[in-house]
Amino acid sequence: MNTFVLPLLMGAPDQAAAGGTTASLISTFVPFGLVILIFYFLIIRPQNKKQKETEKMLSALKKGDKIVTIGGIHGVIQSVKEGTVVVKVDDSTKIEFSRSAIASVVESAKAEKATAEAVTDETK
């Protein structure tokens, strides 16, 4: 009787159940694969897209752009250096920031010129 009970207690598969181990492995790994795909499409991919957009925005900074820093300081870019930008906050106040401290560009210099030209044309 001990030779019959011991394999059952140990969870040893029978010869009839040996064919079902492949199916149980597949049913175990499929949910893990689905979770990885969900993480990729909901977390990793959008984060990579946002990072690329931020890098593109930082590389396109130019003099005259109105910006907002990550600390909430609003200003206009006075000069652009390799790793930093000088931001004019007030008439006599200029602050030098790292490029990575720029959160967003509120208004581009091109858009500002186009708006100014449109206003000038309307007043004529």
The three-state (H, E, C) secondary structure of the chain, written as one string: CHHHHHHHHHCCCCCCCHHHHHHHHHHHHHHHHHHHHHHHHHHHHHHHHHHHHHHHHHHCCCCCCEEEECCCCEEEEEEECCCEEEEECCCCCEEEEEHHHEEEEEECHHHHHHHHHHHHHHHC
For residue range 42-71, list pLDDT tens digits in order.
999 999 999 999 999 999 999 999 999 999
What was the pLDDT predicted at 115?
66
Give the residue, 93 or 4, on which the prediction is more confident: 93
Question: Average of pLDDT values for 9-29?
Answer: 67
- With bands split at pLDDT 50, 70 and 90, how would you rate the model's confidence at 21? confident
Residue 29 has pLDDT above 80, yes or no: yes
